[in-house]
Structure 1
């Protein structure tokens, strides 16, 4: 066991020897070179290094002391100046615990003046609980933060001065990026001397920094000053380059996000356009099939029957038989013509090009009343807004289909049309008191209209609107919403 432990100690000691030998080999040439120099050169080198070190340390200590004293003096002078201005605000806080709107307005006007704004960019009034009673940054008013160390000292009655902590929550909230000199001055009651609030003044430190820089130049040696200037110059260049790169990076990220967002919107719009095209094609196909079925099952059958009646006319033996057969043919053809006109009337619109919104609604309602013998209550919008023909057609078809459904499923009971315009949004509805079932929203063709809710929905959505069928206890309501803004009225 002893031999094994000794072996381990030997293994750990062995790697240290090459490192020690390397350091000796590195120091040996320096010592040899220094030893070959003259005494005057050795004195110059040793004293120069020592003087530079001492001057740097002395300059650091002196500049720190001067900076502290200058900050304290500046804080005392600023606090005394601000206390004379803020005494009325302190008395008001002592009495009511908050500032009146008039006092806030006066403070806003005071700190908006150029001589105050340039010297004191930011100002806050802190309450003892850490909340902000007033601030030139409006987003801080009424909020509570962790009390800064300077605030705690000021609440004890002392004037405190320190540089701004940029990581504090009250600074990150307003994206503060400059380390101003924060001066905390207590505000006391005029009668008891109790601290009722603390004024925090952010003072621009450019003048103070310049004074400190002059002291450093006097305390330091030329070499230390030159080294500092070179370092600061390089830091300024690097900082400027870094800031430029960061701004460009943020811009590229924003452009990339914008391009991605636009691409996604284009994709969604393309998909919607494709879906709308498919739905419109399907709707047109079903409309065409419906018209064909109506023509085949109605007029075509009647005309075919009329053709069959020509044979009795040809073989009639007497005038009475011939007249009777011709009368059947005429009646059949008249019935076929009536059905053809009914189908055509549902496909063609009346002349609505020169009508306004309420007139278009009234025209559709009157035609429905004449055809069905029912009554329709109309509450118009009272607007004389000029509408393009495509929107008038959509409104007419909406009213026509809504009233057809109301007549078919509610026997025309409680038919009512309501229209209003909210800003640029058109809201139009047709309701009844029939309590329709879910079949009311199907695409069945009421009274030969051949329109259907599905086709109407495609028409409304093609204009950017929405169509909704609502079931109620006392009936049903067909609702259409259409935004007339965004150039819709330019058509």
Structure 2
């Protein structure tokens, strides 16, 4: 069954709308993905460079602390506090060029006591060492970028923690902390971030442009294929409609052929009855009159007598009447499907003098062409059962499913391989199973013939959905 054109059109329109929304959605998803990926890459590069610069600042700060503070704190190797002279010299350090970058200097003992501070002198002697001092006493120089506490200086500050060694040895006698101005580092980091973003943008822009060209080209190809597909779908829909129309015309032609054939058979039967049969009947009457006035015995010279001619004429009339009665259908227009099958069985019983067992359900009303087909099927199958099986075990059964009608005619004879029993009363030559098969196929049905030594079964299945249209 072909798909209606309007359903194909709606499906194609839905595909077109989805394809039209696919391009901007794909571009948006690709742009978001690439921008996020490149942003993360720039952030990762910036953080990596910041860590590298911070480590460099820590190493530089450690060298400066050891260079400037180391000689002034050597007395902490044997004492727990600095002398006044050492404190004075340490205070003067911020007045040198080092003071341009360093804002404060602190010196801590291993037990966490603050030994020196350029800031709040009241804190000297207290134990409030930060955790970073522990790393310094382990010989590690660390640095961290901190926000500025001074509102007038928005630049960040760099805290550097480094160990202070005894001269000429690797013994750590104290830990120093210097707070340097981070303006230059901040400027470098800002430049690095800007350059990273610029580099990423320079890489991303061509990628996005190339991706856009590829997607637009793919969308153009899809659009052309969609147009071609719509044209093909329209052609297919038109062909489907034409095919349905041709199929309907072919079905109508088959039904018309069946009806024309039945009309021809009826006319042939009527012509046989009204023509040769009537002439032969008159001839028989004339011969009867001659038999009454002449000797009916055979002449002595061996020529046929009037009695022989009369017997041959009566046999011919019987055969012609059987043929005519088989060709002419009874009036079926007012009969139901069940009554049609019963009529075929009853006429066969009257014509052959045999008995047919049947189980016929209450069948739905079928159109006249189909009822004629069922009548001919039962007539031909029962005639074959009478001819080849002598009418033994003749049986007709019907069944109905939700969408088909089944008729089975069987006998218990020796099968069609046995020699036909000619000259039986009421026998006439039928239309043949090939003719029945053509009738069944005209209604999109099927016919199966199973012949064995214990009998023959003719089974017919006709779809009601196609037959009742």
Q: State the TM bucket, normalised to the shorter chain.
A: 0.3 to 0.5
With structure 1 as the length reference, what TM-score do the two structures score? 0.42
Greater relative contact order structure (CA < 8 Å, 6+ sep): 2
Larger radius of gyration: 2
With the length of structure 2 as denominator, give the TM-score of the two structures: 0.44
